[in-house]
Structure 1
Amino acid sequence: MIKGNCLISQSGGPTAVINNTLYGIIKEAQLADNIEHIYGALYGIQGLLNNQYVKLHNLTKDQLEFLRKTPGAALGTWRYKVTEEDIRRIVLNMKKENIRYFFYIGGNGSMYVANLIHEEAKRCKYDLTVIGVPKSIDNDLLHTDHSPGYGSAAKFLATSVLDIHMDARSMANSNRITLLETMGRDAGWLAAACSLTTKVHPNFRTLIYIPEVEFSVERFLTKVQDVYKEDGYCISVISEGIRDQNNEIINKSTVQKDAVGRPQLGGVTPYLTQLIEDNTPLKARYVFPGIWQRSSMGISSQVDVEEALEVGKQAFQQALLGHSGTMTSIKRQDCIEYKTEYTSIPLAEVAGKERLVPVEWYDSENCQMKKPFETYALPLIQGEAYVEMNSGLPNYQYL
């Protein structure tokens, strides 16, 4: 194995457990004889472009342990659409610092950038090992059973829906329609997770709407009124990317573009709340968890924490085995007794592509998820991660 330095970057939206992956890579790199120094790129692409690296090999044991219990991207992240010149500059910066091993923690857009870096290094004949390391609360990465970060976001949202049910059921004659909006872009994995509440309270009915299935405003208005008449209240979970029969975003008139040129989704629940109040005799309100659903370490999944750590370790081990231009992938071995193994997938097969919720897992008539989704998702939210407290509050630490 070639000797040189190791560089780690975090990209895209943070998660509650992304720093466990960072921790896993660092711990393995510290044990490797061929790694001279370990660096982190500050604020993702920004650090890669401007050669802004922070030393990670000097972190104390306590500093590393705090990483495991802290949400948000400890190295920082940045959304930016790269150009060909940017990629050449990034590789040139790595050559100057003798970076020989590069680990890019991110989602499908990040895997696209990682593949560009891999291809540019090959083009200029620079010996650089590039490994993509998955993370995504959206859970939309292809060729991995699930993405670290999803389990904790799913647990937080399902817990939130249970809390809302308990509140709504305690109020007599003053309830209304409550809409909760989840992230997820074009994939409905997060909205679908809210159906897991039926495992503990089968009589708590939650209407689920995902982007993979055509959304009808007329059917929606009818459904929420029917549920309200039967239950005395109605809770509906709406994925931000729902689309109509023409594949148009429901609230398209209010949608703008984000930093990488994609529709900046979000805000569909205020739009639907107004439709309910304009077209029915009922009152409505919306709950918008926003970034809270990806940052709540206090309601995180221990399975997710452990897998985020392990995927980092496995990524480094795959690099030692000579893999490059690949993403570390989680493969489910057994659906009855939850077990996983870690494999390697070419970045080109993952880059910029989306994995959607299978439509056969959705009950369109009742706006519910079916049993196969529960079987898939329930193991991912198991266990509670311990968060160290200080003065009654989480004792988070940054690098």
Structure 2
Amino acid sequence: MRGNCLIAQSGGPTAVINNSLCGILKQALEGNGMGQIYGAKRGIYGMLNGDYLNLANLPRVTWDNLRFSPGAALGSWRYKLTVEEVSCIIEHMRSRDIRYFFYIGGNGSMQVAYMIEQQAKDMGYDLTVIGVPKTVDNDLTGTDHAPGFGSAAKFVATCVLDIAMDIRSLPGSKRVTIVETMGRNAGWLAASSALAGGCESIIPPLIYIPEDPFSTDQFLQDIHVQYGRYGSALAVVSEGIRDHTGRLLAEESIANDPVGRPQLGGVSTYLSQIVNAETGLQARTVLPSIWQRSGMLFSSKRDADEAFQAGKAAVQFARAGKTGVMVSLQRISHHPYKVSYEPVSLQEVAMRERLFPSEWYDRRTRSVDTPFIEYVTPLIQGEVFVPMNNGLPAYNTISFSM
């Protein structure tokens, strides 16, 4: 099948999402059959409105620079599609003879990709659809891990290590530090803070994840014990922690986001207020917020390289006649670390979540066990060397005026 190609980025960006874009571009431009290569402006927005960029016009230097630039270069947009709007997207594709569609995103995006693939079949339109995994939450099923997670994990661990070094400087200050990570339903990022605990001279973080019911009384007890031992306390909490009934902490003050989910963020502030009210200690909060997914200077080279290779694999799958699949990273071995890129059905991935394994979490010590450390350590290896200009990162992006 010959025709044109469309690429879109979706959901929250990561430090390495543009590497997948560049991998698709590089592979699509090599060989025949892909025709024009378009990018959808702002993801679903561009798909709904037929608003595309001709990516073949990009200067080669822009491609190279995108590999060390965070943020989604094509732009993204959070929006809940209807079936009628999916039909509209396909009609826009038909008008441009789009025959290959590559969608970079998380589990919600894989649901959209699956809807598009199924609706195209129902409409009798011959369309190859390939999903490319992306998420800092690492909650995608069907893959050992998702590009974006390794860099975010490295950032969180570095952040906690830096904070712990600062805490160590002022023992007995009656200070409690609460760091809040992303993680709606899965605690992979909060768990990654345990990597900082490998430095024996610092205070090990107490870790709280959404998969384990949160008890405020137990939390305060944990804080008292750690303060008594170290002269300070350090806790890392996922934004989505819940009590034993499944209720989000401070749920009454949480609004919904554009796709109808609770707009998380701020649980650390809620907990700090409790610490201040219930103990003689003083709590402060640290919210890395979107910096977790955009911190390019702390990104993992392995993560960037795997994101790039996942993009290339997507085009290889399409040329091999596969459709309705997502690129999956399958770990072949730990030592030496090695992965293969395999197709997994979009239907198996769409809107499903992979939670943090209960057997890797120690509820007694509020820490994680060795198997997780062995799992995550290879993903944070290597550094991305970002070119600098006048002392600041020389980032690049794509002009929408093309």
TM-score by length of 2: 0.98
- SS in structure 1 at match of 2:99: strand
Structure 1 counterpart of 2:354: 355
From the superposition, tell whether residues 392 and 94 of structure 1 become closer, same or farther in structure 2 (CA, over 3 Å).
Answer: same
Could you say which residue in structure 2 is the equivalent of 1:9? 8
Cα distance in 1 for residues equivalent to 2:13 and 2:252: 28
Deviation at 1:32, TM superposition (A): 2.6
Aligned counterpart, 2:380: 381
Secondary structure of 1:32's counterpart equals coil
CA distance in 1, matches of 2:384, 2:364: 37
Q: What residue is the counterpart of 1:371 in the other structure?
A: 370
1:297-322 C-alpha deviation (Å, 9 max, x unpaired): 00100110100000000011001011
* 1:276 corresponding residue in structure 2: 275
Unaligned stretches of 5+ residues in structure 1: none
Secondary structure at the aligned position of 2:130 is classed as: strand
Secondary structure of 2:336's aligned partner: coil
1:1-399 matches, cutoff 5 A: 2-201=1-200, 203-399=202-398
Q: Contact conserved, 2:130 with 2:318, CA < 8 A, in 1?
A: yes
* Mapped contact 1:197–1:204 kept (Cα < 8 A): no
Amino acid at match of 1:281: G
Contact 2:326 2:344 in 1 (8 A): yes
Deviation for aligned residue 1:203:
4.9
Q: Is contact 2:203-2:230 (8 Å) kept?
A: no
Q: Which amino acid aligns with 2:266?
A: G
Q: Secondary structure of 1:257's partner?
A: coil
Provide the secondary structure at the position in 1 that maps to 2:265.
Answer: coil
In structure 1, what is the Cα distance between the partners aligned to 2:62 and 2:75? 16
Contact 2:173 2:231 (8 Å CA) reproduced: no
Corresponding residue SS for 2:290:
helix
User: Aligned with 1:161: secondary structure?
Assistant: helix
* Residue identity opposite 2:384 in structure 1: A
> Aligned to 1:315, what secondary structure does the other structure show?
helix
How far, CA to CA, are the matches of 2:113 and 2:102 in structure 1?
A: 9
Contact 2:215–2:244 (Cα < 8 Å) also in 1: yes
For the 8 Å contact 2:18–2:67, the answer to whether it is kept is yes
- 1:95, CA displacement in angstroms? 0.3
CA distance in 1, matches of 2:323, 2:215: 45
Task: Measure the CA separation in 1 of the matches of 2:31 and 2:350.
Answer: 29
Distance apart, 1:360 and its partner CA: 0.7
**Is the 1:40–1:56 Cα contact (8 Å) retained in structure 2?**
yes
Letter in 2 for 1:34: G
Inter-partner Cα distance in structure 2 for 1:198 and 1:277 = 26
Deviations, residues 206-259 of structure 1 (Å, cap 9, x unaligned): 100001111111000010011011101111000011111111111211111111
The 8 Å contact of residues 168 and 175 in structure 1, kept in 2 or not, is answered as no
Code of the aligned partner of 2:388: M
Alignment gaps of 5+ in structure 2 = none
The answer on whether the counterparts of 1:192 and 1:210 sit within 8 Å (CA) in structure 2 is: yes
CA displacement, residues 177-219 of structure 1 (integer Å, 9 cap, x when unaligned): 0000000110000000000112333753110000111111100
Aligned residue identity for 2:387? E
- Matched residues in 2 for 1:139 and 1:155: separation? 13
Conserved 8 A contact 2:165-2:202: no
Secondary structure at the counterpart of residue 344 of structure 2: strand
Aligned residue identity for 2:199: V
**How big is each residue's C-alpha offset from its partner over 1:62-86, in whole Å with a ceiling of 9 and x where there is no partner?**
1110110100000000000000111
- Matched letter for residue 307 of structure 1: E
- What is the CA–CA distance in structure 1 between the aligned matches of 2:279 and 2:152, rounded to whole Å? 33
1:141–1:354 Cα contact (<8 Å) kept: yes
- Per-residue displacement from partner, 1:126-149 (whole Å, max 9, x unpaired)? 110000100000000001000000
Residues 341-390 of structure 1: CA deviation (Å, up to 9, x unaligned): 01001100000010000011000000000001101101000011110000
Please report how far the alpha carbon of residue 172 of structure 1 lies from its aligned counterpart in structure 2 after TM superposition. 4.2
Runs of 4+ in 1 over 2 A off after TM superposition: 172-175, 198-204
CA RMSD of aligned residues (A): 0.9
Per-residue CA deviations over 1:91-118 (Å, capped at 9, x if unaligned) read 0100000000000000000000000000
1:60 to 1:248, Cα distance in 2 relative to 1, 3 A: same
Residue 36 of structure 1 and its aligned partner are, at CA, apart by 1.3
Contact 2:44 2:79 survives alignment (8 Å):
yes
Matched pairs, number: 398
2:252, 2:217 → 1: CA distance? 19
Identity of aligned residues (%): 52
